[in-house]
Structure 1
Amino acid sequence: MLIGKKNDILSSEITPEAVYLNRRQLIKGAAAMAAYAALPVSAQAGRGDMLFKVAVPDGAYYTSEPQTPFDDATSYNNFYEFGTAKTDPAKYAHALTSDPWSIEVGGAVAKPGVYHLEDLLKGVDIEERIYRLRCVEAWSMVIPWLGFPLSALIKRFEPTSKAKYIEFTTLYRPEEMRGQRSAFSTIRWPYVEGLRMDEAMHPLTIMSVGMYGRELPNQNGAPIRLVVPWKYGFKSIKSIVKVRFTERKPKTSWEGIAPEEYGFYANVNPEVDHPRWSQRFERRLPNSLLKPNRIKTQMFNGYEDQVAGLYKGMNLRRNY
């Protein structure tokens, strides 16, 4: 978020100071301020002074693969609410008001309600997890996310025995999200995604509130998004405003648009091609015509040891 001089900003556009400071104190309380020079150069580039130092867990939450530069990760995105071109989110997402923010929780839970983001962040341990993000268009990134397990929130809401799935909904605000008011959009807004309960409870699944040591940029899903690293990127829904626990599998946005191309599970599987291109290889960002940075796609995006058991006995070609 950019901070301007007082006389540069209209009074109607100023976030209440108490709300603004409270959120940042909650994040800073979970991650101590780090010296700029102590961070890797790749994590410093292109950012301001809101930097946080957090512990990097071992094993499944970490990859030694080179991280995608911050500028690439924040300028080449899919966020159709701001346009279909990969550069549209970075160009137009500044219009999004992400503070204050609240999330409506409903369905098969004992504690439904509308929760302010600051209240949801209280008591959670924010940690850094370096995950791969693989998109169905055959490009990928390696991003250091700041977040916490989704399971921590699920337990707080106390789902009932009827809660078999979780449905997530993105903000619908066409006056700020120009893609939602486009006459050429094929998506029925708002954007909807979903997970099976055991997928949502898996320790790899996180709610992210930041990346590269700072709060999420608008184009990357501010102020809170889902990250499910073994699935294609469209499952990791951005700018979440509603979470609903259901007994039946929710119908997701891309299933409604192109069910023959984008299934509910969206597990990264190099053996199942998209109808219009192969999934066997991917282009790791950054890349260029002369340096395509083409690598072989891994089953479950490299997390097979951790998540394959969730799909034991399932036909992963039919349940794509």
Structure 2
Amino acid sequence: MSAALTILFGGLQASVQAGPRRGLRHKGVPSAGAADLLSLSLANIAVGNEAMTAGIEITMGGFEARFLTEAVIALTGAPGAAHLDGTQVPYGEPVRTQAGQVLTIAPPGRGMRTYLALRGGVDVPAILGSPSTYLPGRFGGYHGRALKTDDTLNIGRGSRRRPRSLPAALTPYLEARWTLRAVAGPELSWLSREGIGRLFGGPFGISAQSDRMGLRLTESRVDVAETRALASAPVFGGTVQCPADGHPIVLLADGQTTGGYPRIAHVIRADRHRLGQIRPGDTLRFERVSHSQALEIFRAKSAALRTLIPAIDF
């Protein structure tokens, strides 16, 4: 283990993220982990790490860090212009850094989060099964918080895998108008006929109040016809809830484990990682699919990625 880099500026929000916490939601522990797990996995594969190794999630660029030692890094996700001492850094490629070099990442034109992987990973302790930062609970990652100026991160032990360039076909398709597939939620029938039409018609806007806990949807209003109260019920990343004001919320990585709002839909697992790249000002539509279609889509996507990422999780 050795000191790897010092944060010069963390931008809007940068945090150490890895794979999610599994098997603890019944105890009230949210999953956390990278908002876009696929992009984190791909960055790790590029430097030779296991897919869920801890890296840095950078929100809307504006990030600067100085390397204190040689390192092998890779960038994926939202493609903000990146430079190492003024030399452009390509995305999806392993790049060797030298001690003293400064990495800068500008705000991306599309997408929300950029992922920085280091060969060996960011060395932070696993808490409750994962090194990921859970920001609302202030645990995990680097002292349970977002990274700030003068924080120094250590790099873990190297991997036996060789760094590799990612196939161009895996460059993320990032847009301002998103269509995500979703299945009906347990309380979908509580909506009026018009409400169901708006839910799967849209489009919805994305509020500036959105964060790692969830996307707050604006513009289109979903009418709830059923007025009875809902006892607190399990929710997950991708669950679409409908508050009384008719403006849905889509839960993300830091979302709570239970909720009392009607669960009107759920973004399918194969599309869930894309939620982490939707930014305020974008628009979102939901395309309704059946549960059997959702499973078929997931199996096909998993099979396409398995040769590159054996332990696929997104």
TM-score, shorter chain, exceeding 0.5:
no
More strand by share: 2
Greater length-normalized contact order (CA 8 Å, ≥ 6 residues apart): 2
* TM-score (norm: length of structure 2): 0.24
